[in-house]
Homo-oligomer: A and B are copies of this chain.
Amino acid sequence: MSIDLSYRPEVVELIARTELFIAEHVLPVENEFHGDVAAAGGDDLRRDLNAKAKAAGVFAPHAPVEFGGLGLTMSERAPVFEAAGASTFGPVALHIGAPDEGNVHMLAHVADERQRHEYLAPLAAGDVRSAFAMTEPSPGAGADPNALNTTATKVDGGWKINGRKRFITGADGAGFFIIMARTSGQPGDRGGATMFLAPAETEGISVDRHIHTTDKSMIGGHCEMTFADVFVSDEDVLGAVDEGYRYAQVRLGPARMTHVMRWMGSAVRAHKVALGYVEQRQGFGGRLGDLGMIQQLVADNEIDLAAARALLVRACWELDQGSHASDATSIAKTFGAEAFSRVADRSIQMCGGLGVSEDLPLVRIANELRPFRIYDGPSEVHRWAIAKRAVGRVRKERQE
């Protein structure tokens, strides 16, 4: 018991192996297709890269050992996922991308024996993909989950689900859905939500359209969906009825952090591309990299990346201790998402005209990173939660 920031040799070795794998097998494809995973083959590409990742011993390092993973702790995932994030296709290749990675995590915590066998095992193995159907179009659950509008009504032997969902990542092509629906209370209430498991082919489930966003690396896109009288049997209720928000918490803290890990890798890559450029490009009587204003951009990138990484280490360690780590994950997510956008933007600026061109991968990295300030809770919502807790602590102390 005392401060230690080093990793087990196995993890150190896995980081190196991951870096090598990304450089050899993943980056070339990403570059060829300008980071558009659908254009690069979608699920066909995924299966191909997954096979190579298995061969290289880097597949699904976060999955429970019993399901063929390496069982890394959150703390250990951080540097490995960052290494994978050096390519925007890296998470797909290692099967550690959203939403599957978070779903594996949550199912491992909540699913019963049968569900583990039926849903978790094939998901962990990469045989199927999954999607987490939670957010809804206005006036439903967007940044504010309590606004949940989709309903599940008790019927004989199960539930009937009705509602519309929006921004369902990976929906197109998913093998099954985890559906969040209201089983009690009214939109606006805390509580009253339940999670349901449903194979994609279940009657009444339809993927209506893709919402085209600036990020292009997630297989299955971000979709609008309709659930119309979808029947889910009682045995496919995930965990207990009305406990959906609680399980969502189990998922959300770690899911936020793995987002930070992966996108950290992309931000680091942008910074390296820019460093490579300013180290060579001449101008104003010297190398750009020796000019004061460029040095400021370089240094600010280094500072931002170091701070984001340090906050991530803290949050992961708290999660590994069994804490919800609400503050630590909100802080690491908010700072990280904003820092990564700043890093990408400075990297573009350092490269001048080329920076805003497709000749370099910077613009597409910036476009992958931008949504992270919105996905998984906009910065404003996290700040609101952080402040509420801080002021609440003072309030409580005063009342004691």
Contact = CB atoms under 8 A, between A and B. Distances in A.
Interface of A: 1-9, 11, 73, 75-76, 135, 138-139, 142-144, 147, 166-167, 188, 211-215, 222, 272, 275-276, 278-285, 287, 289-296, 298-300, 302-303, 306-307, 310-311, 313-314, 316-317, 320, 327-328, 331, 334-335, 348-349, 352-359, 363, 367, 370-371, 373-375, 378-380, 382-384, 386-388, 390-391, 394-395, 398
A287 B9 CA distance: 49
Which 10 pairs across A and B sit closest by C-beta, in order of nearness? A292-B292, A310-B310, A295-B387, A299-B383, A298-B387, A289-B391, A3-B75, A212-B358, A299-B386, A4-B4
Contact of A292 (B272, B296, B314): B296
B353 A166 contact: yes
7 contacts: A143-B283, A213-B358, A222-B357, A299-B334, A300-B383, A303-B334, A310-B311
Contact of A138 (B282, B307, B359, B367): B282
Contacts of A387: 289, 294-296, 298-299, 302
Given A290-B391, A331-B306, A390-B275, A283 B144 contact: yes
Judged by DSSP, the binding face of A is helix
Contact of A313 (B3, B143, B320, B379): B3
Nearest to A295: B387
A214 B374 contact: no
A84 B300 CA distance: 30
Contact of A307 (B317, B335, B356): B335
Nearest to A289: B391
A384 B275 contact: no
B275 A394 contact: yes
Contact of A310 (B1, B307, B395, B398): B307
B2 A283 contact: no
